[in-house]
Amino acid sequence: MRAATLLRAPGPLEICDITIDDPRGREVLVRTVAAGLCHSDYHVMEGRIARPLPTVLGHESAGVVEAVGPDVTSVKVGDHVVCCLSVFCGNCRRCLGGETWLCDDKAATARPPGAPPRLSLDGRAVTPFSHVGGFAEYILVHENGTVAVPGSLPFDRAALLGCGVITGVGAALNSAQVKPGSSAVIVGCGGIGLNAVQGCVLAGAARIIAVDRVPAKLELARTFGATHVVDAAGGDAVAAVKELTGGGVDYAFEAIGTAATVEAAFAMLRRGGTAYVIGVLPEGSRIRLDGLDFLASKGIQGVYMGSNHFKLDLPTYVEWYLQGRLRLDELISAHLPLDAINDGYAALARGEVARSVIMFD
Ligand SMILES: [Zn+2]
Ligand SMILES: [Zn+2]
């Protein structure tokens, strides 16, 4: 099968002829229809996040179940499914405590050592990135990394649910548990930030301030429900947010992944407010905070995958979308064939797009 593969980092993706095994045990073989381009893959391409190579990138994909292993019970052949990298074992302390997105034993959902690899290239094992490997014509995953969705949901919209939507909306609803009537700022209005904006809308926040340097993204943030926008290119964004809220916000969401924007998000808080870092910072990043701010009860919290229970959250999000309460259409800025994937990442790197989606034939 054709798959966008990273052979060396930093480096571009190459379309390779990858061999995919048949499903065993609790594995599901998915015929990919749509795959979203997420920033995390780009970090790996750029060598900022080290992963075993070669790897088939992509972790935000939707498709149709083509075949299942003998022990699969949660999905069946013909189901439309979304693949999520928050695959969970169901038996570790984190899973048993309800924190499946922090599963400590994802290895239990992979093939055991010594077994033939799920993916290979000329006889050599290939790692499916984030247990998915979504930029490929087929995906072989554990059933705990899939969830069935209604056939009425278009595949390109479905794909985005698996990472961008669940991360941004989940940050507001699950991680921060934003309260009705509260104030929030979202720093960075790419795909994740826009979803954090609509998560705050769904939570009933009264004041939702979007901060970005690109005017078009601020306009998009307004359509997603931002009540105020601040152009960070036009001056001191921290001062502007403090003025808009009479001293700072209850919740600050950082959705870019730089030390400077994390520090800015923290500085936008009121006394007792909490900053949530959704953006992926490169390894070795250091954040500088003023120690006195902890006396003001300000908090900072990392967020991973929107603290999701995707098998529960995703069907809810689908209902909200079909009811017109969750925006997905506006997140998609381009559809691309697999061959154009490097162009798609170049546009993402330039900050031009909300989300590009690869469509398979
Ligand atoms: Zn992602
Ligand atoms: Zn687990």
Q: Return the percentage of the chain with pLDDT > 70, whole number.
A: 100
Query: Do 46 and 95 lie in a common domain?
Result: yes
State the CATH number of the domain containing residue 330: 3.90.180.10
Report strand pairing: 27-36 vs 61-68: antiparallel
230 C-beta neighbours (distance < 10 Å), count:
24
Mean of pLDDT over the chain: 96
- Token digits of residue 217: 């993204």
Mean pLDDT of 176-189: 98
CB neighbour list of residue 264: distance below 8 Å, 6 or more residues apart: 187, 237, 238, 254
Show which of 302, 322, 344 is a domain's final residue: 302
Q: Which residue has the tokens 């790419």?
A: 190
Is residue 63 scored above 90 in pLDDT? yes
Q: How far is the CA of 283 from the centre of ligand 1 (A)?
A: 17
The reported pLDDT for the residue numbered 317 is: 98
Q: Return the percentage of the chain with pLDDT > 90, whole number.
A: 93
- Token digits of residue 65: 């179940």
Query: Do 66 and 128 lie in a common domain?
Result: yes
Q: How far is the CA of 114 from the centre of ligand 2 (A)?
A: 22
Q: How far is the CA of 245 from the centre of ligand 2 (A)?
A: 41
What distances in angstroms separate CA 324 from CA 62, 317, 319, one per listed residue? 21, 10, 9
Residue 63 belongs to what H/E stretch?
strand 61-68
Residue 264 belongs to what H/E stretch?
helix 259-267
Q: How far is the CA of 51 from the centre of ligand 1 (A)?
A: 15
Residue 172 is assigned to a structural domain of this protein: no
Show which of 259, 274, 302 is a domain's final residue: 302
Q: How far is the CA of 93 from the centre of ligand 2 (A)?
A: 7
Query: Do 137 and 98 lie in a common domain?
Result: yes
Residue 171 is assigned to a structural domain of this protein: no
Query: Do 26 and 157 lie in a common domain?
Result: yes
Mean pLDDT of 212-219: 94
User: For residue range 106-158, what is the model confidence (pLDDT) as tens digits?
Assistant: 999 999 999 999 999 999 999 999 999 999 999 999 999 999 999 999 999 99
User: For residue range 7-21, what is the model confidence (pLDDT) as tens digits?
Assistant: 999 999 999 999 999
Query: Do 147 and 19 lie in a common domain?
Result: yes
Does residue 66 sit in helix, strand or coil? strand
Q: How far is the CA of 96 from the centre of ligand 2 (A)?
A: 7
The reported pLDDT for the residue numbered 225 is: 97
* Bridge partners, residue 121, by sequence: 124
Q: How far is the CA of 205 from the centre of ligand 1 (A)?
A: 25
The reported pLDDT for the residue numbered 50 is: 87
Q: How far is the CA of 164 from the centre of ligand 1 (A)?
A: 6
Query: Do 23 and 144 lie in a common domain?
Result: yes
The reported pLDDT for the residue numbered 49 is: 85
The reported pLDDT for the residue numbered 322 is: 96
Considering only CA atoms, which of 294, 289, 251 is closest in space to residue 270?
251
User: For residue range 325-339, what is the model confidence (pLDDT) as tens digits?
Assistant: 999 999 998 999 999
User: For residue range 298-326, what is the model confidence (pLDDT) as tens digits?
Assistant: 999 999 999 999 999 999 999 999 999 99
| Ligand that comes closest to the CA of residue 134 | 1
Mean pLDDT of 102-107: 96
Does residue 114 sit in helix, strand or coil? coil
Is residue 215 scored above 80 in pLDDT? yes
Query: Do 145 and 264 lie in a common domain?
Result: no
User: How many domains are there within the chain?
Assistant: 2
Mean pLDDT of 339-360: 89
| Ligand that comes closest to the CA of residue 99 | 2
The reported pLDDT for the residue numbered 196 is: 98
Length of the chain: 361
| Ligand that comes closest to the CA of residue 90 | 2
State the CATH number of the domain containing residue 247: 3.40.50.720
Q: How far is the CA of 291 from the centre of ligand 1 (A)?
A: 32
Query: Do 243 and 342 lie in a common domain?
Result: no
Residue 15 is assigned to a structural domain of this protein: yes
Please say whether the beta carbons of 18 and 132 come within 8 A: no
Q: How far is the CA of 305 from the centre of ligand 2 (A)?
A: 15
Is residue 352 scored above 80 in pLDDT? no
| Ligand that comes closest to the CA of residue 93 | 2
| Ligand that comes closest to the CA of residue 98 | 2
Query: Do 207 and 136 lie in a common domain?
Result: no
| Ligand that comes closest to the CA of residue 163 | 1
| Ligand that comes closest to the CA of residue 100 | 2
Q: How far is the CA of 98 from the centre of ligand 2 (A)?
A: 9
User: For residue range 229-287, what is the model confidence (pLDDT) as tens digits?
Assistant: 999 999 999 999 999 999 999 999 999 999 999 999 999 999 999 999 999 898 899 99
Q: How far is the CA of 130 from the centre of ligand 2 (A)?
A: 15
Residue 169 is assigned to a structural domain of this protein: no
Query: Do 79 and 192 lie in a common domain?
Result: no
The reported pLDDT for the residue numbered 223 is: 96
Query: Do 287 and 349 lie in a common domain?
Result: no
Give the model's confidence band at 349: pLDDT under 50 very low, under 70 low, under 90 confident, else very high.
Answer: confident
Is residue 62 scored above 90 in pLDDT? yes
Scored b (16 or more CB within 10 A) or e, 314-334 reads: bbebbebbeeeebbbeebbbb
The reported pLDDT for the residue numbered 294 is: 96
pTM of the model: 0.94
Residue 250: which domain range? 177-302
